[in-house]
């Protein structure tokens, strides 16, 4: 086992493992602990350095935090709660597509496949693809990459309990560090997933950089299923990021709480508020944290004091909305060709099959 690699045992035996032991047979397939390997690259990758990125972001104008820092343990759980909100249609729309078309998606890539997923989170929707692949083949290797080690670990345990024919090789890592590892791995034919419209969080140059890196992980004939939220009326979009319960606000402000916890900050969360709106010209939701008053915040571990003016905005996330032309532009610039797009019954969300050329 390499540095930063853990092998994890799951608590319950699977029925088939129990049955084999009761019959006194040797295990024919790897035991659970053999079926899960998590490589934790987060602690040794400077690209995931919260401290340096916060220092840089607070010195920038306008000030900013990177969206990947939403996802500590609490942030990952808050995102799961967002997925259940009536206003946040994205998860339900994408789930509807995967429920209806998972067999078609699986069949679009020939042969026995390995499943890769970037930013897998709870991997709830992934189950639909896993089940489709396990209808086609006798066993499956799943290789998820996520910056949230806690989400990766709990989702992996749950998946292994559900699917005895699944093996997981997981990377707790920034996308790019994870892709560097995947590039070295032996995977055979690959179907990769990038769900939840995670692509939306990248400015267009970074979306191209991400897809080019993904393309170099894949081989000709492999495919990427890209989930992308579609342009629509501003009211529906703005409601999705301004839910009545305030969960999205908590998710956004958790970045300040995380800086307090991990870097010894003294942000008073009640002196800031969540601010999100649709910028129609740019075709994107813009998300900020707004300072409600003139204030000074100290961050002990960075040994800095930072002033915020009343009304000042700190940028935390963009969520770009797409149309077919936009997806084609991205695919064509990055060595993919879009061969098929599925949309949900209300035309809100798209799942795009990008084949590696
Ligand atoms: C919007 S959630 C989507 C989760 C899931 N794919 C879904 O569709 O519901 C984004 C996921 O990507 C992960 N993530 C965000 N930025 C990342 C980065 N730079 N590198 C790796 N994972 C990242 C988060 O931890 C989170 O699990």
277: enclosing H helix or E strand: strand 272-279
337 Cα to the center of ligand 1, angstroms = 24
251-278 pLDDT, tens digit per residue, is: 999 999 999 999 999 999 999 999 999 9
- φ and ψ of 278, to 5 deg: -95, 125
CA 344/CA 228 separation, integer angstroms: 12
Q: How many residues are given for the chain?
A: 357
Asked if residues 5 and 37 have their Cβ atoms less than 8 Å apart, the reply is yes
**Res 13 pLDDT > 50:** no
Task: For residues 320-346, give the mean pLDDT.
Answer: 98
What pLDDT score does 42 carry?
84
145 Cα to the center of ligand 1, angstroms = 9
Question: Apex CA 86: angle with CA 81 and CA 87, to 5°?
Answer: 95
Q: Is 61 exposed, middle or buried (0-12, 13-18, 19+ CB in 10 A)?
A: exposed
CA 216/CA 179 separation, integer angstroms: 9
Write out the residue limits of the CATH 3.40.50.150 domain(s) in the chain. 34-41+76-80+87-232+321-356
DSSP 276: E
CA 226/CA 327 separation, integer angstroms: 9
CA 121/CA 76 separation, integer angstroms: 7
Question: What residue owns the CA closest to ligand 1's atom 27?
Answer: 121
Rounded percentage of the chain residues whose pLDDT exceeds 90: 87
Within the chain, how many helices (H) and strands (E) appear?
12, 14
CA 169/CA 143 separation, integer angstroms: 5
Full-model pTM = 0.91
**Cis peptide preceding 177, ω within 30 of 0:** no
71 Cα to the center of ligand 1, angstroms = 8
282 Cα to the center of ligand 1, angstroms = 23
**Res 28 pLDDT > 80:** no
Rounded percentage of the chain residues whose pLDDT exceeds 70: 89
Distance of CA 133 to the CA centre of its chain: 21
Q: Using H for helix, E for strand and C for coil, what is the string for 301-338? A: HHCEEEEECCCCEEEEEEEECECHHHHHHHHHCCCEEE
197 Cα to the center of ligand 1, angstroms = 10
CA 265/CA 298 separation, integer angstroms: 6
CA 294/CA 308 separation, integer angstroms: 6
CA 136/CA 103 separation, integer angstroms: 9
List the structure tokens of 348: 């809100």
Residues in Cβ contact with 206 at an 8 Å cutoff, skipping those fewer than 6 apart = none
C-alpha pair distances (Å), 311 with each of 28, 102, 279:
64, 46, 19
278-304 pLDDT, tens digit per residue, is: 999 999 999 999 999 999 999 999 999
55-111 pLDDT, tens digit per residue, is: 999 999 999 999 999 999 999 999 999 999 999 999 999 999 999 999 999 999 999
**Res 30 pLDDT > 80:** no
What pLDDT score does 47 carry?
54
What pLDDT score does 33 carry?
66
Question: What residue owns the CA closest to ligand 1's atom 7?
Answer: 196
List the structure tokens of 122: 């709870």
- φ and ψ of 43, to 5 deg: -70, -25
182-228 pLDDT, tens digit per residue, is: 999 999 999 999 999 999 999 999 999 999 999 999 999 999 999 99
Instruction: Tell me the HSE value of 327 on the side-chain side, using a 13 A CA sphere.
Output: 26
Residues flanking ligand 1, CB < 6 Å: 68, 71, 76, 79, 83, 91, 119-121, 125, 145-148, 151, 174-175, 195-196, 198
For residues 26 and 37, the model is more confident at 37
Bridging pattern class, strands 140-146 and 304-308: unpaired
Phi-psi region of 23 (alpha: psi -120 to 50; beta: other; left: phi over 0): alpha
Query: Which atom of ligand 1 is found nearest the CA of 94?
Result: 8
51: enclosing H helix or E strand: helix 50-59
CATH fold group of domain 34-41+76-80+87-232+321-356: Rossmann fold (3.40.50)
88 Cα to the center of ligand 1, angstroms = 16
What pLDDT score does 322 carry?
98
Burial of 272-309, coded b for 16+ CB within 10 Å and e otherwise, reads bebbbebeeeeebbbbbbebeeebebebeebeeebebe
Best residue for ligand 1 mutational test, from 49, 65, 119, 180 (most atoms within 8 Å of Cβ): 119
């Amino acid at each position: 086992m390499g540095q930063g690699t853990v092998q994890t045992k799951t608590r319950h035996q699977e029925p088939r493992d129990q049955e084999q032991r009761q019959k006194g047979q040797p295990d024919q397939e790897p035991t659970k602990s053999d079926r899960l390997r998590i490589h934790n690259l987060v602690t040794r990758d400077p690209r995931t350095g919260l401290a340096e990125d916060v220092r840089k972001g607070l010195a920038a104008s306008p000030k900013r935090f990177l969206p990947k820092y939403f996802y500590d343990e609490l942030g990952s759980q808050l995102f799961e709660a967002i997925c259940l909100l009536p206003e946040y249609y994205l998860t339900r729309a994408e789930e509807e597509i995967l429920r209806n078309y998972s067999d078609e998606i699986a069949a679009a890539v020939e042969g026995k496949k390995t499943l890769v997923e970037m930013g897998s989170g709870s991997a709830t929707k992934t189950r639909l693809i896993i089940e489709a692949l396990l209808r086609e083949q006798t066993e499956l290797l799943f290789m998820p990459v996520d910056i949230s080690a806690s989400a990766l670990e709990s989702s992996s345990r749950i998946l292994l309990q559900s699917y005895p024919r699944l093996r997981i090789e997981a990377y707790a890592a920034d996308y790019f560090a994870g892709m560097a590892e995947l590039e070295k791995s032996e995977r055979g034919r690959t179907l990769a997933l990038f769900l939840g419209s995670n692509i939306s969080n990248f400015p267009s140059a970074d979306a191209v950089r991400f897809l080019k890196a993904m393309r170099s992980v894949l081989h000709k004939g492999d495919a990427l299923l890209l989930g992308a939220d579609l342009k629509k009326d501003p009211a529906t979009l703005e409601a999705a990021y301004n839910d009545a319960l305030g969960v999205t606000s908590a998710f956004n402000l958790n970045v300040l709480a995380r800086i307090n916890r991990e870097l010894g900050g003294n942000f008073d969360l009640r002196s800031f508020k969540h601010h999100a709106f649709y910028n129609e010209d740019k075709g994107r939701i813009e998300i900020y944290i707004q300072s409600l008053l003139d204030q000074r915040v100290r961050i002990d571990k960075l040994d800095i004091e930072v002033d915020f003016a009343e009304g000042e905005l700190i940028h935390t996330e963009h969520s770009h909305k797409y149309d077919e032309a936009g997806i084609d532009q991205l695919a064509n610039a990055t060595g993919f060709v879009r061969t098929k797009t599925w949309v949900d019954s209300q035309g809100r969300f798209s799942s795009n099959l990008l084949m590696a050329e």
